[in-house]
Structure 1
Amino acid sequence: MSSSAGIVSRNPILSWWYDHVIATVDHVRVVDKVQAELGWSGRYAFMTLMSAGIAVLGLLLSSPAVVIGAMLISPLMGPIIGLGFGLATFDTAQIRQASFALAMGVVLAVLFTALVVMLSPLQNVTPEIAARTRPNLFDLMVALFSALAGAYAMIRGREGTVVGVAIATALMPPLAVVGFGLATLNWTVFGGAVLLFFTNLMTIALLAAVMARLYGFGSNLSPQHTMLQSVVGFVVLVALAIPLGISLYNIAWEARASRQAQDVIQAQFASDARLSQMDVSYGTKPLRISATVLTPQFRPNAERDAKRTLTQLLGKPVEVALEQYRVGTSQAAEAAQIASAQANARQVAADRVAVRTTEQLALVAGVDPSAVLLDRDQQRALVTAKVLPGAGLQAYRTLEQRVANVATGWTVELIPPAADLPDVSFEPPPPKEKSAKAKPASSSGDQSQQAPADTGPVPDAAGKQAIATAIWGARRLNVPIGVSGNKDKVAVVVKALTDGGVHAQAVTGAGGRGGAVRLTWLPPDATPDADATG
């Protein structure tokens, strides 16, 4: 302590910090407060479950307001700030206690959100979910500011719900997305959300430790501090820094790649050319770079040269798409060409839609973006989905419709697995008048009384939806459908499927429950069986 005091007295900045900042902190009160809120308790478990449930519902509904509601009640601030203070004081008991509470909270949140997703009819990847599947620099900054706010508020006695929201912003939504990925077995979503969660967790814990040290919380404040605890605490600190370091490396690489791409593209043109816009899609293979350049002289080989140079610089395959707009040297000519470029902004927007469609199709199908087949000329996207446990054919159709609604102007096709076809239910037959049965079909009597006898079975609303889903699936898979059940109902369904452009035929077999018609997939080389009846 004497050597530390000597250093402080010789350095005016450290001396001012010690006298005007550290000396004003009630260290005992803060340590007691941190200790009281870092552990596991029934209240902590209950509030974690409630916060996780609200968060995953907000993500499924793509409602930022609901997600914010989950942050307001999240109890994650206590354990994670406690972990940071434990690292600062090298108190292994506190580190162990906070880590246990945090780990149990994570397990509870992930399992509970996975259960909610499995019970939910909505299992598509919404924009709110997709936004939390890949950490970037802004996510890291959110975690950084959250850590600074949480640690400062705890030290200065201003902790509360508002600061808890800052911590929950960085942690609870990614945890809910982890549960979503686990429930749907979508490992692209799962892996991205796990990486985002651990990046934020490490950032908050380490910055909380740094803040604690800056405000004078050192090893002398730990009542059971030993050399072994110091060694263990240092090892834990290094272990926590590894995933953060990996994430920071990836973020730094992306930032460097963007700068290099901008420099290389700019170098393909004269000095008076201007790079108007550039977009880089890091999640695609190969890495896709699109840019708009305003240049006095058109360069036909610019894309090829930029692609070759960037592939060498970045060490991975690169696809470059350049839109060149020729502009004159006068201000009027340049303004006219810029106006022309703005008139062609629809193509640029279409490229953005293509990238977004690729990413969303990959997410909902549970595959890598490179598995999505994209035809930019025809504006058509195609992907084969992986099997989602418990998902019927209607679920895959809904996923395709969700992406198609966002991909304006594009034809989106999701090839589903051969999931079970839904049964076709029918409306109950109308009551028949006795007098109607006695009259011949050619009678000139009341036609309204004869209508029920002449009208065949009619599918109800659910049955019509089942037929539409079966037509969609058969077109995607190019597989015929077998129809079994009541003969009259089978004939109606076969006709509806045939009218929809699907090869369907009656097959022997029982129908579904309540008189419904059962649909089954047939081998691709199945031939019609005119004698098969139900």
Structure 2
Amino acid sequence: MATVTDTAASAPPPKETDGDGQAKRRPISRWTILRALAEMRMWWRDGVIADLDHVATIERVRGESLLTSRYIFMTAMSAGIAILGLLLSSPAVVIGAMLLSPLMSPIIGTGFSLATGDANWLRRCGKALAAGSLFAILFCALIVFLSPLQTVTEEIASRTRPNLFDLLVALFSALAGSYAVIRGREGTIVGVAIATALMPPLAVVGFGLATFNWTVFAGALGLFITNLVTIGLTAAVMARLYGFQSGVTNRQGRLASIIILTVFVAMAIPLGFSLRTIAWEANGQRIVNHEVSEAFTNRARVEQPVVNWDTDPVTVSASVFTPEFNADADTEVARRLEQRLGRAVVVNIDQFQVGTDPGAAEQAALARARAREAAEASERQIAALARSLALIAGVERKDVLLDRENKRAQATAQPLEGLTLAGYRELERRLERTVPGWTVELRPPLTALPEVTVGEDGLDAENATRLALIGWAAKRTGLRITLSGSDEALHELNAVLGEDARFVDTRSEGQGNAVSAAWSTTTAR
């Protein structure tokens, strides 16, 4: 009997069950949670923070985050490579600029100085960051100002519309970068530099400044500030988390945490709205693609529709290769899109009839794509010609006359100190060689005309070149030129000029072989 009693007493209490006979789970008590948190805190303090050499880390970060000659030089090189990569729309070159950029160091230093409460260090980091950023912007602006390429490329446009994803990229990159610095694994900074891309937005700011494109300027500056603030504040949080808090009281620490959280929320709200707009437009593009395709048969081939969301009503244009025309396609697609998008829509679909053979639509679309690509390449070449001609002439792009039908480009050059008439003609020739089939006409300023000397055997090569230059100047300016010299010399020059003799007047005076040339106020016929 005693044995039975002892066994019953030692048995575990029966488990509580629910109505289905299943054992009930006991809720985790608050004390259990607090005890687990306390144990984790002790592990973090004794097992992680205790292994760190805080003094050595602070000195290392401090030494890399201050304003030095090396810092300025590397900033200049990174900025130069970045703006050239952006102008050329070359991602590989832009990535090279990211790897060279030293801007990450003062930003990380700013976060550590905030965590440790070192006001002098914070001030010096801010000075390095401001000096490097301003220098990079001005240096890039100078390069763009002197460059014939000033078009907003795809690489530039991609850095003018910051959104919430950019903030998250900067946040995760800052966590990785701060961890690498604290744990002594600086090799990770290379990847962080590529992810956050601090220098390209600054280069785009410089581009916007040089071209007076304030939309590009503001968008790129917003992206840079987003990355800068996110990295700095995240570095401060990580530094405090790893015990870098000397000189900071608990009250100051709580206040800093509140400020950091407030700043993150303040940045996240407008960036979230921007992301929402981008997401809405992306979804709208999918809807447009679907509705345009639904208006035609399965054998039709629809090119990517182009949607302009900034107009009211929204405009949609597309090209369709189809064996069967749909006369009501524009009206039908516009009605469906208005129902789904909730906005007024104007649709313009260009329909191209193709054969009924399988693959006919695809072949026609491919041929059109090739033709469009060739036309776009030609247009880019013509645009580059106009920019180069404007740069050479020292005028605005709008002052360059382009005659596409006759393939002729014309501009009137402004006087440039030290550049002779022969220099203007050589610039015209060089530019004309860049676009085969086009005629470039650069009207030179009324600079001094060369003197021509007629030898006993006629004109030598040098004087023949001078005479040809005089004829070229007369034709380009539309003004007649007066040649003054002996009758014998003038007779020789008229014989050499041939048809160009109609652009010149002659005046017989004196003896000798030298013939002078002067501009006349008479318009050439």
TM beyond 0.5: yes
Change (3 A) 1:50 1:457: same
Change (3 A) 1:321 1:200: farther
Number of equivalenced pairs: 466
What are the within-5 Å matches in structure 2 for residues 98-497 of structure 1? 98-116=125-143, 120=146, 123-125=147-149, 130-135=153-158, 148-149=172-173, 151-156=175-180, 157-160=184-187, 163=190, 166-167=193-194, 170-182=197-209, 185-188=210-213, 191-192=215-216, 195-203=219-227, 205-206=229-230, 209-210=233-234, 213=237, 217=241, 221=245, 223-224=247-248, 226=252, 229=256, 233=260, 236-237=263-264, 244=271, 248=275, 251-269=278-296, 275=302, 277-279=304-306, 290-293=317-320, 297-303=324-330, 305-306=332-333, 313=341, 320-324=348-352, 333-349=357-373, 421=445, 423=447, 426=450, 429=453, 432=455, 436=456, 450-452=457-459, 458-459=465-466, 481-482=478-479
In structure 2, how many angstroms separate the alpha carbons of the residues matched to 1:257 and 1:381?
Answer: 42
Shift in Å, 1:38: 3.2
Shift in Å, 1:290: 4.9
Shift in Å, 1:105: 0.9
In structure 1, how many angstroms separate the alpha carbons of the residues matched to 2:70 and 2:132?
Answer: 11
Change (3 A) 1:339 1:166: same
What are the within-5 Å matches in structure 2 for residues 69-88 of structure 1? 70-83=97-110
Moved more, 100-109 or 247-256: 247-256
**Equivalent residue number for residue 71 of structure 2:** 44
Shift in Å, 1:76: 0.9
In structure 2, how many angstroms separate the alpha carbons of the residues matched to 1:420 and 1:48?
Answer: 41
Q: Secondary structure at the match of 1:103?
A: helix
Amino acid at match of 1:202: T
Change (3 A) 1:104 1:305: farther
Amino acid at match of 2:211: N
Task: Assess if the C-alpha contact under 8 Å between 1:76 and 1:168 holds in 2.
Answer: no
Amino acid at match of 1:259: R
**Equivalent residue number for residue 444 of structure 1:** none
Change (3 A) 1:340 1:71: closer
Q: Secondary structure at the match of 1:421?
A: coil
**Equivalent residue number for residue 447 of structure 1:** none
Shift in Å, 1:37: 3.2
Change (3 A) 1:215 1:179: closer
**What TM-score, normalized by structure 2, do the two folds share?**
0.58
Change (3 A) 1:37 1:359: farther
Query: What is the CA deviation profile of residues 424-451 of structure 1, one whole-angstrom value per residue up to 9, with x for unaligned ones?
Result: 7658757x4xxx3xxxxxxxxxxxxx22
Change (3 A) 1:453 1:362: closer
In structure 1, how many angstroms separate the alpha carbons of the residues matched to 2:411 and 2:344?
Answer: 26
Of structures 1 and 2, the larger Rg is shown by 2
What are the within-5 Å matches in structure 2 for residues 83-98 of structure 1? 83=110, 97-98=124-125
Aligned-pair RMSD on alpha carbons? 6.8
In structure 2, how many angstroms separate the alpha carbons of the residues matched to 1:235 and 1:383?
Answer: 58
In structure 2, how many angstroms separate the alpha carbons of the residues matched to 1:265 and 1:240?
Answer: 38
Change (3 A) 1:516 1:453: closer
Q: Give the percent of matched residue pairs that are identical in Structure 1 and Structure 2.
A: 31
In structure 1, how many angstroms separate the alpha carbons of the residues matched to 2:226 and 2:369?
Answer: 41
Moved more, 257-266 or 57-66: 57-66
Unaligned runs of 5+ in 2: 1-29, 392-396, 506-514
Change (3 A) 1:455 1:211: closer
Task: Assess if the C-alpha contact under 8 Å between 2:450 and 2:466 holds in 1.
Answer: yes
Task: Assess if the C-alpha contact under 8 Å between 1:92 and 1:229 holds in 2.
Answer: no
In structure 2, how many angstroms separate the alpha carbons of the residues matched to 1:51 and 1:529?
Answer: 54
In structure 1, how many angstroms separate the alpha carbons of the residues matched to 2:86 and 2:110?
Answer: 28
Unaligned runs of 5+ in 1: 437-449, 475-479, 507-514, 521-525
